[in-house]
Structure 1
């Protein structure tokens, strides 16, 4: 059960443009957005930031979603793991790669560049941050400074979302919950407090 109830979408017609944009990017309007709508300026500011950070840039959208999945898993946020892996598949991620994301170090499905990015994401999701100088140097072998800024922006963006959704016990929506239950449980994923009542 969420610790603060999301507002009903139909009670907020003035924010429908924002809701449609978020829903278009994710395939679902997250309950986290409807909870943030209690303070519309926070919701709209975060929606804009998230759209910029997660857009296809010099780093591909699938890799951004994989980075978001790994940082969320390292931080322990089941809500964000469900969303990010589901969106990764919608953006064209190979299902086998998604299933093996936690074996990225050894799986032949991942390139050295992907491993470097996911290694940094994993370390950044821990508290305290465990990213080493060697891991950043390895990241630099595969990505330029502008790309590294994009990757770290994804990590930082999900630092906010991981804290938000775990603290609020945000209830997963039907489609990401069903997707994660079907595809991530064998890798140890559980909805936990995000399953709802």
Structure 2
């Protein structure tokens, strides 16, 4: 359970209830971070718009490269919600989720391509405190993905750092998106969201 209560649909504003219905339709359940962020309506709206815009704008990198770098950040920070949700996104993108069990040994695992290894190493360097990114890494990634691809990768790694740290701080844990048994973020079935 998160460190602060979630906002159930019965207690949410009409705009938040609409967003909950959209999320439930898209993901089969409302992501718990939405239900915690709903305590601050303006940030809830800003986040929803931002996430949709980022998803729409992210067209340069191959999905496997972007998603594995984001997953590595979540795994490194230890955000169980982000790991859970990230595994679901990779599954929905048709990516091999079995290889995620070997993310700790990515450098030597044949499950990862050279492009993916470079992206994971960059995610590690960006996530380190202080940042450990090198000029060589940036030059290598620019050669691999172009400047726009490098910017997209950097943006997603930075965004996942923010998400994972925020969700961990608020005590938001795995919800079951990577399995077929997703936990709803509120206990009262009567307040539920209709899909």
User: Per the shorter chain, which TM-score range?
Assistant: 0.7 to 0.9
Cα separation, partners in 2 of 1:121 and 1:6, compared to 1, 3 Å = same
Helix, strand or coil for the counterpart of 1:143?
helix
Single out whichever of 131-140 and 56-65 deviates more from structure 2: 56-65
Provide the aligned C-alpha RMSD in A: 2.3
CA contact (8 A) 2:90 2:97 kept: no
Cα separation, partners in 2 of 1:61 and 1:129, compared to 1, 3 Å = same
Match of 1:54 in 2: 55
- What residue ranges of structure 2 are gaps of 5+ in the alignment? 182-195
What is the rounded CA distance, in whole Å, between the counterparts of 1:94 and 1:133 in structure 2? Answer: 31
CA contact (8 A) 2:23 2:30 kept: yes
Match of 1:37 in 2: 38
CA contact (8 A) 2:138 2:150 kept: no
Q: Report the CA distance between 1:168 and its aligned residue.
A: 0.5
What is the rounded CA distance, in whole Å, between the counterparts of 2:157 and 2:19 in structure 1? Answer: 23
What is the rounded CA distance, in whole Å, between the counterparts of 2:120 and 2:39 in structure 1? Answer: 34
Cα separation, partners in 2 of 1:152 and 1:24, compared to 1, 3 Å = farther
Cα separation, partners in 2 of 1:48 and 1:159, compared to 1, 3 Å = same
- What residue ranges of structure 1 are gaps of 5+ in the alignment? 180-197
| More contact order relative to length (CA 8 Å, sep ≥ 6) | 2
Match of 1:109 in 2: 111
Helix, strand or coil for the counterpart of 1:6?
coil
Matched, 1:14 2:15: yes
CA contact (8 A) 2:80 2:174 kept: no
Q: Deviations over 1:21-46 (max 9, x none)?
A: 44455453211111111111111111
Length-normalised TM-score, structure 1? 0.79
Helix, strand or coil for the counterpart of 1:144?
helix
What is the rounded CA distance, in whole Å, between the counterparts of 1:51 and 1:148 in structure 2? Answer: 20
Helix, strand or coil for the counterpart of 1:80?
helix
What is the rounded CA distance, in whole Å, between the counterparts of 1:11 and 1:68 in structure 2? Answer: 32
Match of 1:195 in 2: none
Cα separation, partners in 2 of 1:27 and 1:117, compared to 1, 3 Å = farther
Match of 1:147 in 2: 149
Length-normalised TM-score, structure 2? 0.80
Count residues in correspondence.
179
